[in-house]
Amino acid sequence: MADQKINILSIESSCDDTAAAVLCNGKILSNIVATQEVHQQYGGVVPELASRAHQQNIVPVIHQALAKANIDKKDLSAIAFTRGPGLMGSLLVGTSFAKSLAMGLNIPLIEVNHMQAHILAHFIEEEGFDKPEFPFLAMTISGGHTQIVKVTDYFKMEVIGETLDDAVGEAFDKSAKILGIAYPGGPLIDKYAREGDPKAFKFPKPKVDGLNFSFSGFKTAVLYFMQRETKKDPEFIEKNLKDICASIQYTIIGILMDKLKKAVKETGITQVAIGGGVSANSGIRQALRDAEGKWGWKCYIPKFEYTTDNAAMIGIAGYHKYLKQDFADFDITAQSRYKF
């Protein structure tokens, strides 16, 4: 297989981004994402609207990915797709499309777990980016998940900690909603936080055993704090927005880092990678860079385009399954809850 060109078309449709990518031997030739704006007015993803938008977007997105990669359909080696976890109506669009296309082209089909793909994004060939060595710890932080995973090989992963309720992205987005910031609020909290004082206000950190997380109490604490303060001064939020955002972000990053430190201590593994939408956050990125200097960790921080949902990460996971000839049957179905 050494001098063979392995061209993989990958499809991601688990939530509200319709994405397709083409990879040749693990290198990205194209990486296209159509983000659905329809959800903004509702302050969160509306599953039925997401599914309909995927149906509209999937053909043009795949056409674009193939055109940009300058690859003809007949030169594809396999089709990789996100099987789960995610919204069922959204997953069904990508799954059905991938199955039909692979069947039509008579090439193998490769199923990918979305959460594993967020981790394997670190294996995309990119100049200036080192790849982690096994074993390493991965913290996947997104709008739907918060996990600490021990990774001993490409597909040997063990979840050693996860959220018991809300995901960390929800803690950002729900706090933003309380502050009157538009959905998804995470990136805007990050933006305002850069100009605020992280120690201006103190929010409680949840007490959760082991390596697990809980964020539902945090959101309630933010809500009660704002209600109390705006009763005293109705303009409290406007006057203190940057400091509030900085304090919220500081607390959330503190919660994540406390658990990561614990995981490093318990496993003895000092290589740490992050992935998922919240890994775009400047606070967590800085905290990991600081950890390299302070504690001698080696940290892997993804390129921005591989933090939020994308198909390149599905493609790299698919490529490593292709190398193992690990193909899916055509009667495979999408799985909204898909553990690994």
The annotated binding site for substrate is made up of 140-144, 173, 186, 190, 281
Q: Which residue is nearest to ligand KG4 (CB)?
A: 277
Distance, in Å, from the CA atom of 147 to the CA atom of 138, rounded to the nearest integer, reads 8
Q: Nearer Cβ to Zn ion, position 111 or 309? A: 309
**The two structure tokens encoding residue 124:** 């995309």
Residues annotated in a binding site for Fe cation? 114, 118, 309
Q: What is the DSSP secondary-structure string of 59-85?
A: HHHHHHHHHHHT--GGG--EEEEEEES
Q: Which does 132 bind (CB under 5 to 8 A by kind): Zn ion, ligand KG4, none?
A: none
| 81, 10 contact by CB (below 8 A) | yes
Q: Taking the complex as a whole, how short is the minimal distance between the CB of residue 336 and ligand KG4, in angstroms?
A: 13
Burial string for 55-74 (b: 16+ CB within 10 Å, else e) reads: bebbeebbeebbeebebeee
**Residue 318 to residue 190: CA distance in whole angstroms:** 32
In 3D space, the residue among 130, 116, 8, 136 whose CA is nearest the CA of residue 69 turns out to be 8
If the CB atoms of residues 7 and 308 are measured against ligand KG4, the closer one turns out to be 308
In whole angstroms, what is the distance from residue 147 CA to residue 274 CA? 10
Report the nearest approach of Zn ion to the CB of residue 142 (Å): 4
Tell whether the torsion through CA atoms of 52, 57, 62 and 65 is positive or negative.
Answer: negative
Comparing CB distances to ligand KG4, the nearer of 94 and 184 is 184
Q: What value does the CA radius of gyration of the chain take, rounded to a whole number of Å? A: 20
Q: Which is nearer to ligand KG4, 276 or 318 (CB)?
A: 276
Residue 186 interacts with which of ligand KG4, Zn ion, none, CB < 5 to 8 Å by class: ligand KG4
Per-residue tokens: 303:
């390129």
The binder of 187, among Zn ion, ligand KG4, none, by C-beta within 5 to 8 A per type, is ligand KG4
Residue from 113, 142, 175, 307 binding Zn ion (CB under 5 A):
142
Shortest distance in whole angstroms from residue 16 CB to ligand KG4: 8
Residues between 262 and 321 that touch Zn ion (CB under 5 A): 309
Least CB distance from residue 193 to ligand KG4, whole Å?
Answer: 9
Residues engaged in binding ligand KG4 (CB under 6 A): 15, 142-144, 169, 172-173, 184, 186-187, 190, 276-278, 280-281, 308-309
The CB-of-28 to ligand KG4 minimum distance in angstroms stands at 18
Residues that bind Zn ion (CB under 5 A): 142, 309
